[in-house]
């Protein structure tokens, strides 16, 4: 373990997987008196993280701590808005300048850009800087990071996906409440320093996330099923409706059900094209499973099997009620540091 601040709690294998447990140590005060965070990529995710962490420090989640945020983005208008909105203390289009004195760097860029950005960060960031990312895919992002970072840098890399977002993208829609009540999935590498993991986990907990741990492979399978494939379905449903001969009448008459189901089809197309390529295998598997379920339902309807499709609807309704009752949609090890309010 390095001399980095540490906190109690643990990252361990899930109960059904016996093995050695990893301990998240207790952070010391020198890590919270002054934290310099650099956020690369000022869209909805990066901007909302900055605002949420500002609020957390302001309300005393990190007693005696101060926060300085540097924002890095290639869009000059975004950098101006970052200063006007109070997202950052300083801004720059240069990754090298932005990370030069950072304690922690958040990569909030498209998943296909992670490798190239990590290469620049690896060259310019302090040796002990913590690196984390907010990518929606784990396997391909971690592979890209490994290819573009030194072995020593990987010890300070903490992959964590905050499961939050909106159909509207851009810094102008950033809000400090985006992560409240949401889930975050941390997928530490075997070599990830536990103290660094503690810092990242607790920063996100202060922003409102409930953090669980998964393997990268498990994350990509799970979120293909509950996030990526639902987006594919919404895109396809919207395309079907918009391209039908009755589209103008149908869309004008659409009620809450259609609007709720297709809301996420308004998401950023470039971001979702990147996610689709990055998690293509798991998404294809999920689409195949959905096609099988739809084929089953189609067969029941074609046969006018009233009891059959009624039972199908009842199973689906029962599963949906389980989510409404706040049962966990996935069984994952909840990360529960003892002092969740410190980083």
Is residue 150 in a domain?
A: yes
Domain that holds residue 35: 6-215+330-334
> Do residue 73 and residue 117 come from a single domain?
yes
> Do residue 190 and residue 237 come from a single domain?
no
Q: Encode burial over 80-92: b for 16+ CB neighbours within 10 A, e otherwise.
A: ebbeeeebbbebb
Which residue's structure tokens are 């899930």? 14
Longest dimension (CA), the chain: 69
Q: Which pLDDT value is given to residue 166?
A: 72
Q: How far apart are CA 99 and CA 102, in angstroms?
A: 5
Q: How far apart are CA 104 and CA 116, in angstroms?
A: 18
Is residue 275 in a domain?
A: yes
Q: How far apart are CA 129 and CA 161, in angstroms?
A: 19
Is residue 342 in a domain?
A: no
> Do residue 278 and residue 178 come from a single domain?
no
> Do residue 224 and residue 205 come from a single domain?
no
Q: How far apart are CA 49 and CA 175, in angstroms?
A: 8
Q: How far apart are CA 222 and CA 217, in angstroms?
A: 9
Which residue's structure tokens are 């409240």? 180
Q: With CA atoms as reference, report the closest residue to 206 among 72, 59, 316.
A: 59
Is residue 147 in a domain?
A: yes
> Do residue 248 and residue 279 come from a single domain?
yes
> Do residue 187 and residue 303 come from a single domain?
no
Q: What's the total number of domains in the chain?
A: 2
Question: Cβ(219)–Cβ(46) under 8 Å?
Answer: no
> Do residue 118 and residue 230 come from a single domain?
no
> Do residue 93 and residue 231 come from a single domain?
no
pTM for the full model? 0.81
Q: Which pLDDT value is given to residue 33?
A: 58
> Do residue 207 and residue 228 come from a single domain?
no
Is residue 339 in a domain?
A: no
Token pair for 228 = 């990526």
> Do residue 118 and residue 247 come from a single domain?
no
Token pair for 217 = 């492979």
Is residue 176 in a domain?
A: yes
Give pLDDT tens digits along the chain (343 positions): 333 332 333 333 333 333 333 444 444 434 445 799 999 999 999 999 999 999 999 998 887 789 999 999 999 999 999 999 999 999 999 999 999 999 999 999 999 999 999 999 999 999 999 999 999 999 999 999 999 999 999 999 999 999 987 767 899 999 999 999 999 999 999 999 999 999 999 999 999 999 999 999 999 999 999 999 999 999 999 999 998 888 788 788 888 888 989 999 998 899 999 999 999 999 999 999 999 999 999 999 999 999 999 999 999 999 888 877 754 444 445 454 433 333 4
Provide the CATH number for the domain around residue 187: 3.40.50.720
> Do residue 19 and residue 168 come from a single domain?
yes
Provide the CATH number for the domain around residue 230: 1.10.3660.10
Query: Cα angle vertex 90, ends 88, 92, to 5°?
Result: 110
> Do residue 62 and residue 150 come from a single domain?
yes
């Amino acid at each position: 373990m390095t001399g980095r601040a540490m906190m109690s709690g643990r990252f361990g294998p899930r109960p059904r997987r016996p093995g050695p447990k990893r301990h998240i140590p207790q952070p010391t005060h020198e890590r919270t008196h002054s934290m310099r965070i650099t956020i690369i990529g000022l869209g909805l995710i990066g901007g909302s993280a900055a605002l949420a962490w500002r609020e957390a420090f302001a309300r005393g989640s990190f007693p005696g701590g101060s926060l300085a945020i540097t924002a890095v983005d290639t869009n000059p208008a975004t950098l101006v808005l970052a200063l006007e909105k109070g997202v950052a203390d300083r801004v720059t289009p240069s990754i090298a300048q932005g990370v030069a004195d950072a304690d922690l760097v958040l990569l909030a860029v498209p998943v296909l850009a992670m490798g190239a950005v990590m290469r620049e960060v690896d060259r310019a960031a302090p040796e002990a800087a913590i690196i984390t990312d907010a990518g929606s895919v784990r396997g391909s992002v971690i592979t890209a990071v490994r290819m573009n970072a030194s072995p020593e840098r990987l010890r300070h890399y903490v992959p964590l996906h905050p499961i939050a977002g909106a159909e509207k993208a851009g810094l102008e829609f950033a809000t400090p409440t985006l992560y409240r009540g949401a889930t975050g999935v941390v997928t530490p590498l075997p070599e990830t320093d536990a103290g660094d993991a503690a810092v990242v986990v607790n920063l996100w907990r202060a922003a409102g996330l409930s953090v669980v741990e998964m393997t990268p492979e498990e994350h990509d399978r799970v979120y293909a099923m509950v996030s990526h494939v639902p987006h594919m379905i919404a895109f396809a449903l919207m395309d079907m409706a918009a391209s039908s001969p009755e589209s103008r009448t149908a869309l004008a008459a659409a009620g809450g059900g259609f609007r709720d189901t297709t809301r996420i089809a308004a998401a950023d197309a470039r971001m979702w094209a990147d996610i689709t390529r990055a998690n293509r295998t798991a998404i294809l598997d999920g689409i195949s499973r959905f096609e099988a379920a739809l084929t089953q339902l189609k067969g029941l309807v074609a046969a006018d099997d009233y009891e059959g499709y009624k039972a199908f609807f009842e199973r689906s309704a029962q599963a949906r009620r389980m989510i409404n009752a706040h049962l966990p949609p996935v069984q994952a090890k909840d990360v529960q540091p003892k002092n969740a309010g410190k980083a």
